[in-house]
């Protein structure tokens, strides 16, 4: 079971990072100093936030990918992370995703 959780964690990370990178053109990217090493920021969804939100995105992906048909199930799955992860959710599910 630990192997499954580890694989899901890796998949979550991969999906979050790849969906953010694929959904963003190079014009949207900037590198900003953040009290230490430079951090790539993609329209508000930083790499740090993408990593933080990757687990909830993977956990809710199947429910939320069709959020227009039943948004209540998606929002219930996301819970309090909906507002926190909004920049990454809009990169994953599209700019029309109602996070707030």
Please report, for the chain, the start and end positions of each structural domain, with discontinuous segments joined by +: 39-93
* 79-95: pLDDT as tens digits: 999 999 999 998 888 88
Secondary structure string (H, E, C) spanning 27-60:
HHEEEEECCCCEEEEECCEEHHHHHHHHHHHHHH
The label of the residue with tokens 């499954």 reads 4
| pLDDT over 50 (residue 16) | no
Average pLDDT of span 36-43: 49
């Amino acid at each position: 079971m630990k192997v499954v959780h580890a694989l899901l964690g890796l998949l979550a990370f991969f999906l979050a990072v790849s969906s953010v990178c694929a959904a963003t053109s190079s014009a949207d990217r900037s590198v900003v100093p953040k009290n230490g090493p430079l951090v790539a920021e993609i329209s508000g969804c930083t790499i740090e936030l993408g990593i933080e939100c990757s687990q909830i995105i993977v956990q809710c992906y199947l429910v939320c990918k069709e959020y227009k048909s039943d948004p209540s199930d998606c929002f219930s799955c996301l819970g309090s992370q909906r507002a926190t992860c909004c920049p990454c959710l809009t990169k994953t599910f599209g700019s029309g995703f109602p996070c707030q």
